[in-house]
A and B are shown apart, each in its own frame.
Chain A
Amino acid sequence: MSSKTLSSGSIAQARRTVQQLRREARIKRIKVSKASSDLMRYCGEHAKNDPLLMGIPTSENPFKDKKPCTVL
């Protein structure tokens, strides 16, 4: 590869990539086991407030078409 093909543009790009990777490398990471247990706990704590999980009583279902009732 001829060194004449290197432009200052690609050096600037490489410098930006290094800067970005430095930023991403320095973050603190927690164990996947801890992350998983936190997610599991969140699901467990919020399950009762999840209508799609708990089911919706017909009388409270906003999307259900209400059919007219006739009183016999």
Chain B
Amino acid sequence: MAAEKAEMDALKKECDGLRAQIEAARKAVNDTTMTAAANGVAPLGRVQLKLRKSLKGHLAKIYAMHWSEDSRQMVSASQDGKLLVWDTFTGNKLVAVPLKSAWVMSVAFSPSANLVASGGLDNICTVYNIKAASPKTLRELDAHTGYLSCCRFLSDSEILTASGDTTCVLWDLETGKQKMVYTNHIGDCMSLALSSDMNMFISGACDSLAKLWDLREGTCKQTFSGHTSDINAISFFPSGNAIITGSDDCSCKMYDLRSDQEVTDYTDATLNAGVTSLALSNSGRLIFAGYDDFNCHIWDSLKGEKVGVLSGHDNRVSCTGVPADGMGVCTGSWDSFLKLWN
């Protein structure tokens, strides 16, 4: 017993030492902030995007949306128990997928656009083939012990999920089995994003931490702190060297992966609503962040200033997405509408 306590004390002492070492190493490279460094960058002026389409079709709150890689099709999920695949150029609905469980929280398009996946309070990630004559359930990935908050396909044979059980999982769609389980968060995982080379991914959780993972090794490589509440949204900066997070603490933050720390904080004294979702424009200069205040606010990622707002929803903006060609922004809301802006 005494030996156990001695070991525990030694381990705790080593933890404290390592944490102090990490903080010191971060401080040693902290020679400026992004905002200060971007002082000489020309300001953007007001960014005014117009509402181009309002997509009407869902009968209840929309919780998630995801663009297809063709930048034309888009899939949305609502607690009316349906997934809808839209042709955003015409506004037409192409496919309707009825869900076994209406409590959906996430939806994803596979890169090939042959498959969509969704999941939520049923703890299951269900994958559908939408190219069949009528949508066919391909797999039910059932191993999480908490709600499914986010899912993203790597290909038609692999998918990554984030869950309220605090883990992320990589699944093999041929076998329906877990290939890797990523454990390190101590709060519900709320969001994930894949790096463009698919060797890494990032996750944001209710423990207010963002983590960078080695997808194939299964290890957590870096941990980013600073938020004071749940992280609901996370995305890579297009260069792959930084990440952006959005939180219930009403702020977004940019963390640089190579400096291993927060470099910008996007806050505004008048913004007292949690961030639900975020997406970046193709150059990374604009951050579109959806908030509980029914708006999507636009931030200058370099100068840390609010440069615009997308107003029009009658309830919380729950999801935001920019297609691969960068031609617009889609916002989805609890008001049951999806809106396209550019």
Chain A residues with CB under 8 Å of chain B are 3-4, 6, 8, 10-11, 14-15, 17-18, 20-25, 27, 29-40, 42-43, 46-47, 49-53, 56, 61-65
CB contact list, B11-46 vs A, under 8 A: 11-12, 14-15, 18-19, 21-22, 25-26, 28-34, 37-38, 41, 44
Q: Which chain B positions have C-beta within 8 A of A18? A: 11, 14-15, 18
Which residue of B32, B284, B286 contacts A39 across the interface (Cβ within 8 Å)?
A: B284
Name the interface residues of B259-280: CB closer than 8 Å to any CB of A: 259-261, 263
Q: Which of B38, B256, B329 contacts A52 (CB 8 A)?
A: B329
Contact residues on B (Cβ < 8 Å of other chain), bracket: 35 or more
- B342 contacts the other chain (Cβ, under 8 Å)? yes
Residue pair A3, B4 in contact (C-beta under 8 Å): yes
Cβ of A11 and Cβ of B11 under 8 Å apart?
A: yes
Interface centre among A18, A20, A39, A50, by most chain B C-beta atoms within 10 angstroms, is: A39
Interface of B with A (CB < 8 Å)?
A: 1-2, 4-5, 7-8, 11-12, 14-15, 18-19, 21-22, 25-26, 28-34, 37-38, 41, 44, 47, 49, 52-53, 72, 88-89, 184, 219-223, 237-239, 241-242, 256, 258-261, 263, 281-286, 301-302, 322, 325-329, 340, 342
Contact A38 B241 (CB under 8 A): yes
Give the chain A neighbours of B8 by CB distance below 8 A.
Answer: 6, 10-11, 14
Contacts of B219 in A (CB 8 A): 23
Minimum C-beta distance from B215 to chain A (A): 16
**Main SS of chain A's interface residues?**
helix
| With known contacts A32-B256, A43-B285, A51–B5 Cβ distance under 8 A | no
Report the bound CA distance from A31 to B263 in whole Å.
11
Instruction: Check A32/B33 contact, CB under 8 A, given A21-B22, A24-B221, A50-B285.
Output: yes
Given the interface contacts A42-B284, A63-B340, does A30 sit within 8 Å of B89 by beta carbon? no
Q: Which chain B residues border A17 with CB–CB below 8 Å? A: 11, 15
Nearest Cβ in chain A — how far from B203, in angstroms? 15
A4: shortest Cβ distance to chain B, in Å? 6
Chain A's nearest CB lies how many Å from the CB of B214? Answer: 10
13 interchain pairs, CB-CB under 8 A: A14-B12, A23-B221, A24-B220, A29-B29, A32-B33, A36-B33, A36-B37, A38-B241, A43-B285, A46-B283, A47-B283, A47-B285, A63-B328
In angstroms, how far is the closest chain A Cβ from the Cβ of B9? 10
Beta-carbon contact of B4 and A11 below 8 Å: yes
Set A39, A43, A56: member contacting B327, Cβ < 8 A: A56
> Is the pair B37, A65 in contact by a Cβ cutoff of 8 Å?
no
A21 touches B19 (CB 8 A): yes
**Which residue of A4, A20, A22, A30 is within 8 Å of B259 (Cβ)?**
A30
